[in-house]
Structure 1
Amino acid sequence: MTIIDAPVEARPIRRRSVTVLLWLLVVPGLVWTGLRLVGWEPGRLIQLMAFTPYVAIGSLIPLLLTLIFRRWLAGVVAVVIAGTLAACVLPRTLPDLDRGAAEGVRVRFMTANLLFGGADAAEIVALVRQNDVAVLALQEFSPGAETRLAAAGLGELLPFHSLAAEPGASGSGLYSRFPLIEPGSQRNRGGFWQTFGTIQPPGAAPVFVESVHPLAPSAPDTFAGWKTDLANEPRSDGDNPRRILLGDFNSTLDHGALRRLIAHGYRDAADTVGRGLIGTWGPYDGDPIPPVIIDHVLVDEQIGVTKVSVHPVRDSDHRSVVAELILPAAS
């Protein structure tokens, strides 16, 4: 029996085809990496950029294929892509050496998105009680949610508040164990309320706290509003007072718009303690979406972070975030 090899002239064609296919796998990762590094999110890439941790894992596939088929130039590019994305994402799993103040007043903060006000009020109150939460920020805070939370006993735990309840997704609430100095609320350009106030626990310096909820980049006509809302969030550098922003930021640490805000005097609490890849939004109400991290606690760089935990909330598409912080002592 005679075995006939493929014609010699077919081998270069097959080799070129494999090379082209591998480059078609590598180039999208290269473009993604470049956009991630410069923080440019045009159009629908705002939404897609939230899934960068999954792209980082996926970048290993073209890397392995280029090595298997010995396409060294493409392999070098694939190594750069995988290494760069890993450098962007993996540090969120490692505690920072600098976690802010190590001495001061320990206070626990919690944020939760109520999904049009429909989240289980009793569960929210139970999380506050079980985690000894002293300050609670709520988004998508409706009049019905306000009533149910009061009936569940939230006011007994956190008697001070600044509330801007509204039907739909635009309401905001801020509850506190400590008196709120100059409490208030303002509607951002995207149409969502953000409630705020200053707390001063015994022995601590005053700290401004705001329940944050920029417009969600859900469609092309919301993209500009999303960028504007993030750009307009209060900063904590320069002569500004110490601040804590917590809530549904509708953005991840892979969005340049959020990183630019953090660069103005903040640190991300979950990232600081190595808990920065725990999902807070996505499949929790049944949607077939991989988990992403869009709920954050941003703290002034002078404030310490000791621990962060994430908790499910019944009847919400978000999970709550609890952060134990160390507020600097009063001078």
Structure 2
Amino acid sequence: MDRAPAVAPEEQPPVTSAAPAPPPPRPRHLLGAWAAGLLLVGPALLIGCRVLDKDGITPVPQLLSLLPWFAVPAALAVLLAAVVRHRALTCTAVVVLTATVWASLPHTPQLVTAHGLPLAQVRVLAANVEFGQATGALTETIRRERPQLVFVSECDRACGRALTAALATELPHRASVDAEGSVGSVLLSAYPLSDHRVIPAVMGMPGATATIAGVPVRLQLAHPLPPMPGQVRLWKAELRRIENAAAGHTGPLLVAGDFNASQDHAAFRSILETGHLQDAARLAEESRTPTWPMEGPLPPFVQIDHVLVSEDFSVRGVRFLDLPGSDHRAVLTDLDLRGER
């Protein structure tokens, strides 16, 4: 009997073992990644507004006052993302931290060098006396420091009368908005004043022209509303009026007071750029010295009191003075008015 030919078994493909699936993320790694992401939300939002040159809506204008401090959560986010080995999140956190540090550098809209010979040395003091409570401290400071120009915010009628009586010899000239509470403001001068004008605002913003060494110098007190929730639109509008007043002026210009805004606010930077002004503190390398709040549980964390100068002035120095009774530091600035003799 013939045997049936043996049938060769079908060739089977070589068996290859499948690559092992990556292990699922550990719960603590997921938690770390989520924590890092949440830490980046605030800094990323503020940096976005800073890059777009916008102040946004509440709570952005309020948080922009704290912009340099947001480098802390951004740095923590970098650390957490690196610990959990999340490469994309680590790179994102590094970018946000770098941008936050960049935005915290002193703002310089343009390089300005004052030209001409010095015509006069001018000492300027800008102070918020908090509803007149620091009137006595301001009077003592003026007698000690001897400024020729003093810009006083939140100076009610009693404050105005007290300063005028006590300083009639040293600062005999004045421009003012006489009112109660935070609305009152006074501009005191050792130089004759003319052309009194007021920028329309909820709180008083008087201005005048001083004649210094024969040169007319425009003076403007700044005190817009603070960017509290519900009044951000008004805050922006009043800062824009200061900007328009600066932009429409030619010649020497001083704008000083409580701006309720820092260099991290687009509305404040616009005043500098449009009015061709420099912050005296920036020129003196003091632009991150905080002036508010001087009362309460928090240490001062933001500079909102400024002396802005046109290119007709050079800055010799800036000091920040405590005023007992006020929640602001005063800004004392030594300037040289320059021009052709």
> Which interval holds the TM-score relative to the shorter structure?
0.7 to 0.9
Deviations, residues 43-94 of structure 1 (Å, cap 9, x unaligned): 22111211112113442221222233333322222222222221222336x9
Alignment-derived partner of residue 191 in structure 2: 178
Equivalent pairs, count: 315
The SS at the match of 1:218 is coil
Query: Residues 308 and 223 of structure 1: is their aligned pair in 2 closer, same or farther, counting only changes over 3 Å?
Result: same
The superposition leaves residues 72-119 of structure 1 with CA deviations (integer Å, 9 ceiling, x where unpaired) of 322222222222221222336x9x975534742221111111111121
After TM superposition, give the deviation of residue 248 of structure 1 in Å.
0.6
Counterpart residue type for residue 212 of structure 1: A
Equivalent residues of 2:312, 2:339 under 8 A apart: no
Matched, 1:259 2:273: no
Q: Are the equivalent residues in 1 in contact too, given 2:152–2:186 (CA < 8 A)? A: yes
TM-fit CA distance, 1:243: 1.5
The answer to whether the aligner puts 1:240 opposite 2:281 as a matched pair is no
Contact 2:58 2:232 in 1 (8 A): yes
Q: CA–CA distance in 2 between the matches of 1:273 and 1:56?
A: 24
* Secondary structure in structure 2 of the residue aligned to 1:28: helix
Q: Give the structure 1 partner of residue 77 of structure 2.
A: 62
SS of the aligned residue for 1:231 comes to: helix
Matches within 5 A, 1:29-178: 29-40=43-54, 41-91=56-106, 98=112, 100-101=114-115, 103-104=117-118, 105-121=120-136, 123-151=137-165, 153-178=166-191
TM-score by length of 2: 0.84
Q: How far off is 1:285 after superposition?
A: 2.6
- Structure 1 counterpart of 2:160, which letter? E
CA root-mean-square deviation: 2.4
Question: Is 1:327 aligned with 2:340?
Answer: no
Rg larger for: 2
- For residue 330 of structure 1, report the CA deviation from its aligned partner: 4.5
Q: CA deviation at 1:33?
A: 0.9
Aligned to 1:229: 238
DSSP-derived class of the 1:78 partner: helix
| Structure 1 residues without counterparts, runs of 5 or longer | 1-7
Change (3 A) 1:129 1:260: same
Identity of aligned residues (%): 27
Q: Which amino acid aligns with 1:148?
A: A
User: 1:299–1:318: structure 2 CA closer, same or farther, 3 Å change rule?
Assistant: same
* Aligned partners of 1:185 and 1:195 also within 8 Å: yes
Shift in Å, 1:290: 4.3
How far apart are the structure 2 equivalents of 1:143 and 1:227?
A: 27
Unaligned 5+ segments in structure 2 are 1-21
Change (3 A) 1:192 1:124: same
Name the CA distance, whole Å, in 1 between partners of 2:102 and 2:133: 38
Amino acid at match of 1:76: C
